C-alpha cells in the first residue's frame, strides 16, 4: 500500500484549485497562471480561451508535442476523470541538457477555456516522485462549469515513434566471446593470430599490436566480474527473435547465433531504446473481462507456434476486447532483471495496446491489460531503479 502523501497547501487560479506539499514553493512568473517547485518537481499551469472539445484539443496536443523537442517520446495517454471536466493525461519523456525529463500533462476543457497543467521531473527521479505527482494530480479540480455535451467515442491516437538506432561495430559470435575474455587486460598479442582477434582489430576495438584502447577498456569494465545484464528478449510477429542486453552503459544488441552490435550508451539512452523496441506510445487501456486463460493456450500463443491457437469461442463472445487483442499480430517481450528469478512478460498487440502475462496457478495464467506508461516504468525500474 502506498504511503499517504501530505498535501497541506491549496493553490487556486481562475480555472482550477489543487493541493500540494507545504515544502513546495510558489514562484512568480508572467508566463504561466501558476508555477510551483519542490522535490525536483516543476508544476506549471497555463490556460487560454477555447471552445473546442477535449478530443480536438487532445489530438492537437499529441500532434504538437513530438515536434516541440527533438527526441520526445509519448509514453501514455488516458482519460482523466478527477477534475470534474473532460480531461486527458498525457505522459512523455524528453531529452534535456542535464538528463532526460519525464512529464505528465493534464489537459482539460470547460467549453470556454483550455487548461494545461504540466508536471516535470528528472527521469532518474521518476519512480521516487510518482506517488507525490499523482497525489497532486488527483486533487486538481476545475472551477468553471463543465460542458454539457457528452463525448461517447474516444479519438484516434498516433502510432508510437520508432526505436532509436544503436550504432557501433558488429561482431560475429567468436569475436564477441573473445572481446569479453579481454576484460581486465590491457594487451594480448595472441589476438593477432586468431580470426576473431583480427576481426576485433579491423573494427578498431583492439589496436594493431593487440593493445586495448581506453574506450575499449571502459566498454569491458562491466565484464570484469560476474555482473548480470538487464535483458530484453523479443519474439516479433514474423517469428524473428531479438535480444538487447545492457550491463550499466555497455550494450550488446544481437544474439549468440547472428552476432551483435557492441557499444557504450548512457543508461537513459538504453531506456529510450528499450521503450522504442517495446512499441511504447499512446494507447487506450481498458481491462479485459477475462482475468486469466488456460496456461497451455496462452503458452502456445506467446511461444510463437506456427499453429497459433484461436481464442475459445465462448471467451471471444463474452470478451470482445480480448478477442480483438488476441487476433492482432503480437510482439512478445521478456524483460529479465539481475537478481529476479522471473522475467516481466509483456505482449504488444498491434493497434490494440499492451497486456502483461502474470503468474500461473492450477493451470490458469493471469493475463491482463497494462498501460504503456506502466510498461515504461518497468523499463525504468529495471535500468535505473
Q: What angle do CA 334, 339, 345 make, to 5 degrees?
A: 15
Contact 63, 158 (CB under 8 A): yes
pTM of the model: 0.94
User: What confidence category does residue 46 fall into, taking pLDDT thresholds of 50, 70 and 90?
Assistant: very high
pLDDT at 208: 84
Q: Give the DSSP letter of residue 211.
A: B
In angstroms, the CA 36 to CA 20 distance is 9
Contacts of 246 (CB under 8 A, 6+ apart): 229, 230, 231, 252, 265, 267, 270, 274, 383
pLDDT tens, position by position, 169-226 = 999 999 999 999 888 877 777 777 889 989 999 999 998 887 888 999 999 999 988 8
pLDDT at 102: 98
pLDDT tens, position by position, 218-267 = 999 999 888 899 999 999 999 899 999 999 899 999 987 888 999 999 99
* C-alpha distance from residue 82 to each of 35, 85, 155, 164 (Å): 21, 8, 20, 35
pLDDT tens, position by position, 338-366 = 999 999 999 999 999 999 999 999 999 99
The sign of the CA dihedral 59, 64, 65, 71 is positive
- Mean predicted confidence (pLDDT) in 58-70: 92
pLDDT tens, position by position, 280-326 = 999 999 999 999 999 999 999 998 767 789 999 999 999 999 999 99
pLDDT at 298: 96
Strands 73-79 and 87-94: antiparallel
Ordered DSSP codes for 304-339: T-TTPPPPPHHHHHH-HHHHHHHHS-EEEEEEE-TT
pLDDT at 225: 83
Amino acid at each position: 500500500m502506498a504511503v499517504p502523501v501530505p498535501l497541506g497547501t491549496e493553490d487556486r487560479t481562475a480555472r482550477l484549485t489543487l493541493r500540494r506539499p507545504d515544502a513546495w514553493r510558489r514562484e512568480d512568473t508572467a508566463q504561466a497562471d501558476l508555477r510551483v517547485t519542490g522535490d525536483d518537481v516543476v508544476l506549471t499551469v497555463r490556460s487560454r480561451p477555447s471552445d473546442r472539445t477535449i478530443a480536438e484539443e487532445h489530438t492537437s496536443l499529441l500532434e504538437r508535442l513530438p515536434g516541440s523537442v527533438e527526441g520526445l517520446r509519448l509514453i501514455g495517454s488516458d482519460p482523466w476523470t478527477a477534475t470534474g471536466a473532460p480531461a486527458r493525461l498525457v505522459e512523455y519523456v524528453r531529452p534535456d541538457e542535464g538528463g532526460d525529463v519525464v512529464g505528465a500533462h493534464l489537459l482539460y476543457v470547460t467549453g470556454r477555456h483550455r487548461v494545461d497543467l504540466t508536471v516535470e521531473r528528472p527521469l532518474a527521479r521518476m519512480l521516487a516522485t510518482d506517488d507525490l505527482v499523482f497525489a497532486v494530480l488527483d486533487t486538481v479540480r476545475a472551477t468553471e462549469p463543465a460542458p454539457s455535451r457528452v463525448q461517447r467515442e474516444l479519438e484516434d491516437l498516433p502510432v508510437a515513434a520508432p526505436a532509436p538506432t544503436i550504432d557501433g561495430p558488429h561482431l560475429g559470435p567468436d569475436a564477441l566471446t573473445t572481446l569479453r575474455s579481454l576484460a581486465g587486460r590491457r594487451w594480448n598479442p595472441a589476438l593477432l593470430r586468431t580470426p576473431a582477434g583480427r576481426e576485433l582489430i579491423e573494427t578498431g576495438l583492439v589496436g594493431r599490436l593487440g593493445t586495448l584502447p581506453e574506450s575499449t577498456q571502459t566498454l569491458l569494465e562491466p565484464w570484469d566480474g560476474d555482473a548480470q545484464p538487464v535483458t530484453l528478449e523479443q519474439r516479433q510477429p514474423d517469428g524473428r527473435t531479438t535480444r538487447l542486453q545492457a550491463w550499466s552503459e555497455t550494450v550488446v544488441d544481437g544474439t549468440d547465433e547472428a552476432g551483435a552490435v557492441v557499444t557504450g550508451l548512457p543508461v537513459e539512452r538504453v531506456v529510450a531504446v528499450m521503450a522504442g523496441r517495446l512499441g511504447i506510445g499512446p494507447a487506450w487501456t481498458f481491462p479485459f473481462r477475462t482475468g486469466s486463460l488456460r496456461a497451455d493456450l496462452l503458452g502456445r500463443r506467446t511461444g510463437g507456434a506456427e499453429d497459433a491457437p484461436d481464442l475459445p469461442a465462448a471467451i471471444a463472445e463474452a470478451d470482445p476486447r480480448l478477442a480483438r487483442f488476441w487476433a492482432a499480430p503480437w510482439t512478445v517481450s521478456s524483460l529479465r532483471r539481475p537478481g529476479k528469478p522471473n522475467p516481466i512478460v509483456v505482449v504488444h498487440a498491434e493497434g490494440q495496446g499492451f497486456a502483461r502475462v502474470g503468474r500461473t496457478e492450477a493451470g490458469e495464467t493471469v493475463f491482463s491489460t497494462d498501460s504503456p506508461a506502466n510498461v515504461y516504468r518497468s523499463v525504468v525500474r529495471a535500468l535505473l531503479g
